[in-house]
Amino acid sequence: MNLLDPAITHYVMHEKTWKFGGGEILDTDGNKIGIMKRKIISLRADIELRNVDETPVCIISKKLAAVRPIYDVKTPDGQLIGRAKKPLIAFRGSVDMYDPQDNLIFKAQGGITKWNFEIRHPKDKKKVYATIKKSDKWRDVFAPAFNFKDRYVIHVVDPDVDRLMLLAYAVIIDNVYHDK
CATH of the domain at 44: 2.40.160.200
Q: What is the CA radius of gyration of the chain?
A: 15
Residue 118 domain-assigned (yes or no): yes
Residue 52 domain-assigned (yes or no): yes
Residue 3 domain-assigned (yes or no): no
CA–CA separation, 51 vs 2, rounded Å?
Answer: 6
Give me the pLDDT at residue 140, please: 44
More confident residue, 94 or 119: 119
How does DSSP assign 50-108, residue by residue? EETTS-EEEEEEE-SS-SS-EEEEE-TTS-EEEEEE--SS-SS-EEEEE-TT--EEEEE
Residue 75 domain-assigned (yes or no): yes
Give yes or no for residue 76 having a pLDDT over 60.
yes
Give me the pLDDT at residue 94, please: 86
Domain residues for the domain of 142 are: 10-177
Give me the pLDDT at residue 126, please: 92
What total of structural domains would you count in the chain?
A: 1
CA–CA separation, 24 vs 151, rounded Å?
Answer: 10
More confident residue, 103 or 1: 103
**Mean pLDDT for the chain?**
84
Contact present, 103 and 123 (Cβ < 8 Å): no
Residue 33 domain-assigned (yes or no): yes
Residue 157 domain-assigned (yes or no): yes
Q: How far is CA 81 from CA 72, 103, 118, 156, in A?
A: 8, 12, 21, 20
Residue 5 domain-assigned (yes or no): no
Residue 2 domain-assigned (yes or no): no
Give yes or no for residue 143 having a pLDDT over 50.
no
Give me the pLDDT at residue 111, please: 77
